[in-house]
Amino acid sequence: MATETHRLAFRAMRTDFEFVLCGADSRRLRVAAEEARAEIEATDRELSAFSLGSLLNKVNREAGERPVKVPGRLLELFVLCRRVYRDSGGAFDPSVAPLMEAWGFREDPERTPGAGTSSDAASVAEQRSAVGLDALELDPAAGTVRFRRPGLQLDLGGVGKGVALDRAAEALRDAGLGHFLLHGGSSTFLAFGAPPHQPAWRVGVRHPRDPERVLASVELRDRALSVSGQHGRTILADGARLGHVIDPARGAPAAGELAVVTASTAAAADAWSTALLAGAAAPVSWKACA
Amino acid sequence: MNDLDRREFLRGSAGGLAGLALVPELDRLFPKLPAGAELRVGLVGTGARGKEILDELAKIDGVIVQAICDRDSGKLRSGGRRAKDAARHDNVEQMLEQEAGLQAVFVATSTDQHRAVAEAALAAGKHVWCEAPLAHTLDDARALAASGGAAGTVFAVGSEARSNPTYQRARAIFKSGGVRDLVSVRGGWFQKATWRAVAPSDERERLLNWRLDPARCAGLPGEVASHALDALLWFTGERPESVTGRGAILLHKDGREVADTVALDFALPDERRMGFEASLANSFEGEHLVLRGTHGTIKLASTHAWLFKESDAVTQGWEVYAHREQFFKDEGITLISNATQLADQGKLKEGMGLPNPPVYYTLHDFVAAVLEGGEPVCSGVDALAPTVLGILADQAIRSRQTVAVDPAQLSLEG
C-alpha cells in the first residue's frame, strides 16, 4: 500500500509548529492533522501567560488568595513542573516570571519584538524573593492549586510547547496514526514510528554559534527531543549579549549556550532542556531522560 | 480575527470613516458567580465542541463536571483526558439514571441529536444548556423550543451573539441610533476545515460525519448562518421574508453531498438585503457580520466589534471617553466607558477584544441563570427563528429556488 505524507505548518503559542504525518490514507491524515492542531490551539488558550482569558492566568490571579480548582491534566502538569524543579535543584522554575520582567524579557514578544533591557541589582534582588516553585501547593485529592507566597506567578513557557505536542500526539494516535514527527519552534520535537523505509526520524541539532553547522544528528522513534538555546530575545549587558533563559540561582540570564534533552514525553524534554540551560556549568549540555 | 485581518479590514473598509472599537464593561468581561455556589453538571457530546466546552467550564468557579457522555468511545476517551474525575457514559439514559446529584446537562451532540438528548434531560428534571442551532428539521426545532419553554428548569440555547459582551455593547449603540436607519446587512463565516471525521470503523465514521449527511444536518446555512441570523434578529428585529441561495463543493471533493461553500441572499422588509457567505475552502476574514446604517456601520467579528461613523453623523456623548489606538495607517478610537480602570490593570495592551472565547460567556450566563434563579439569555423560543431560517436557507440551496418565510414558522404562536 502506498504511503502518503501530509504536512501542516501553522503558527500558535507565538511560534511555528509543523506536523509531518505518514500513512496510507491522505484523507485520514488531513483530518487527524486538524484534530491535532486543535489540541495545540486549545493548549495555547489554556496555558498562555499573555492571555487574560487563559486558565493559567486565572490561577495566577486567584491562587495567591485561595485554592483554585483546576482540571486533572493541568494538575498533572504542575506535578511534573514541581518534580523537575526539585530534581534540577531549582534550575527549572516556572515562577521565574518576575525576574524575566525585571530583565525586560516579559513583554509579549509578538507585540514588542526584539531585545529586553538589563536590570539593576536592587530590582533583581527584590524579584528573587518572589521566585521559587516551593511555594506551589498542590492538593491532588481536592484538585486544587494554591500559592503560599504573595506575588508568585507561573509562566509555563519552558514546558508549554512540549505539553501541546504531547496532546497533539494523543489526538493523532487516537485517530490511528503511528508514524509522525511534530515540532514546535524547531526546538521541541516529538516522533512516533518512522518515515517510510527509515528506521527512525532524524533530527539535526545546530551549533549554537554557527547555525550552518550541525552539531549532532539524533535518531528519534517514540521519543521527544528538546533543544534550549539563547537565541531569540536577548539583552546587551556589559558588552555581552545575554539570552532570555534566567538562572534562578543567580537571578540573571543563564550562561549556558545550548542544552539538548531526549525524553519519553515532549513536556519532560522541554522542562529538562530549560533546566539544563538555566543551571548550566558548561556551554553545551546533554541529557537523556528515562 | 488576527492582527493582519484587522489591519486589512480597517485599511480596506474604513475609508474616510473613523473606526470606533466597541469594548464592553469590565465586569462583563470577567463575570462572577455567587461565592461558594456549586453546580454539578454532565456533558453530552465530547467531540471538538464538547472539548471546547470542557475547557471553558474549567474556568467557571463552582462548576463540577461530574459526568461526560458520548456514543463514540474514541471521543469519550479524549474528552475524559480533559475531565479526569468525571464518570464516563456511552448513553444519555444511563448517565441520567446513574448520576445522582447531577443538576445540569450541557448538550454538545450532533445537531440531529439535540432534541432527543435535551428532552431526556429536561424530563429528568435537569437544567439544560443546548448548543445552537436547536435542530436540523423544522419539526424538531419547534418541538424542542416548546419543550424547553414548558420545562420547570432553565433551558438555554448557546447563542454566542446574545451572551457576547462586545456584541451587547454594540447592540446598545445600535439600539440608541448609533448607525441610524439600517441600509443592509452582510455576514460571513470562513474556515479552512474539512468538517470530516475519521474513525477505525465505517459505522463509527458514519456516526461522526453527521455534518456531511444531508439527512442529519442543514449544512452551512443551518450550522453557521443561523448564528448570524440570530444576531440580526437580536440587533434589528428585522425578519427575513424570503431566502435564495447557491452552494457548491469547491474544495472537499471527497464524495460528500453537502456544499462546502454557500452564498445566501435574504430579503428583508423595505427592499433591504442581508447577504451571507460561508466556506470551508478559505479562512480569510473568519466570522463577521456588518450592519450598515445611514449614519454608520457596525462590524461584529466574534471577539471584536467596531463602529465606523459617517462624516455627517452627530457626535454622541460617549465618544468623549474614547481611547485612541493606531492600527497600521489608520487611527481607531477605542470606546471604553471605564478606560482608566482597564489602563490601570494593563488590560488595554490586550487589545479591544474579549479575553475569553464567546462560548465562555454563554456557558457562564447559563450557570448564572441556574444558580441565581434567572432567565436564560437565549431561550428555546428565542432560538427558534434563527434555527428555522437556517433550515429554510439550506432548503433554498438544495431546491435552487427562492423559499418564502412564513412568519408563523418563526414563533410558537403561529
Give the cell for residue B315.
Answer: 457626535
Q: Is residue B363 part of a domain?
A: no
When pLDDT is averaged across residues B372-384 and rounded to a whole number, the result is 96
Q: Is residue B140 part of a domain?
A: yes
Q: Is residue B367 part of a domain?
A: no
Q: Which long-range contacts (CB under 8 A, 24 or more apart) does B310-313 make?
A: B310/B17, B311/B16, B311/B17, B313/B180
If asked whether residues B145 and B178 sit together in one domain, one would say no
If asked whether residues B254 and B393 sit together in one domain, one would say yes
Q: Are B127 and B371 in contact (CB under 8 A)?
A: no
If asked whether residues B65 and B22 sit together in one domain, one would say no
Q: Which amino acid is at B307?
A: L
Count structural domains, chain B: 2
CA distance B300 to B222: 20
If asked whether residues B106 and B174 sit together in one domain, one would say no
Q: Is residue B11 part of a domain?
A: yes
Whether the predicted pLDDT of B270 surpasses 90: yes
A40-44, A136-140, B72-76: which has the minimum mean pLDDT? B72-76
Phi/psi zone of residue B68: left (φ > 0), alpha (ψ -120 to 50 degrees), beta?
Answer: beta
If asked whether residues B88 and B132 sit together in one domain, one would say yes
Contact of B196 with chain A, judged by CB distance below 8 Å, is answered with: yes
If asked whether residues B339 and B391 sit together in one domain, one would say yes
Condensed to tens digits (0 to 9), the pLDDT of residues B301-315 reads 898 888 888 878 877
DSSP code of residue A149: S
Q: Is residue B370 part of a domain?
A: no
CB atoms inside a 10 Å sphere around CB A75: 19
* Domain limits for position B308: 3-28+162-352+378-408
Q: Which amino acid is at B346?
A: G
Whether the predicted pLDDT of A97 surpasses 90: no
Condensed to tens digits (0 to 9), the pLDDT of residues B173-192 reads 899 998 999 999 999 999 99
Q: Is residue B361 part of a domain?
A: no
CATH number of the domain at B294, please: 3.30.360.10
If asked whether residues B106 and B22 sit together in one domain, one would say no
Chain A residues within 8 A of B193 when measuring between CB atoms: 34
Q: Do A31 and B198 touch (CB under 8 A)?
A: yes
Interface of A with B in 165-204 (CB under 8 A): 167, 170-171, 174-176
Residue where a domain terminates, one of B160, B194, B226: B160
CATH number of the domain at B91, please: 3.40.50.720
Interface test with B, best of A8, A10, A34, A145 (most B CBs within 10 A): A34
Interface of A with B in 224-253 (CB under 8 A): none
If asked whether residues B288 and B180 sit together in one domain, one would say yes
Q: Is residue B372 part of a domain?
A: no
Q: Residue A51: closest CA among chain B residues belongs to which residue?
A: B355
Contact of B350 with chain A, judged by CB distance below 8 Å, is answered with: yes
Q: Is residue B138 part of a domain?
A: yes
Q: Cα-atom radius of gyration of chain A, to the nearest Å?
A: 19
If asked whether residues B50 and B146 sit together in one domain, one would say yes
A90-94, A107-111, A277-281, B287-291: which has the minimum mean pLDDT? A107-111
If asked whether residues B182 and B70 sit together in one domain, one would say no
pLDDT number for residue A117: 54
Residue where a domain terminates, one of B134, B160, B186: B160
If asked whether residues B20 and B86 sit together in one domain, one would say no
> Which among B358, B340, B323 is positioned nearest to B21, based on CA atoms?
B323
pLDDT number for residue B25: 63
If asked whether residues B166 and B218 sit together in one domain, one would say yes
Condensed to tens digits (0 to 9), the pLDDT of residues B334-371 reads 444 344 455 555 554 445 678 899 999 999 999 999 99
B330 strand-pairing partners: B327
Give the cell for residue B111.
Answer: 445537531
Residue where a domain terminates, one of B109, B128, B160: B160
Condensed to tens digits (0 to 9), the pLDDT of residues B3-24 reads 434 334 333 333 345 566 666 6
Sign of CA dihedral A87, A88, A91, A93: negative
**Looking at the partner chain, which of B58, B194, B350 has a beta carbon nearest the beta carbon of A31?**
B194
Contact of B59 with chain A, judged by CB distance below 8 Å, is answered with: yes
When pLDDT is averaged across residues B147-162 and rounded to a whole number, the result is 96
Condensed to tens digits (0 to 9), the pLDDT of residues A143-168 reads 999 999 988 999 999 999 999 999 99
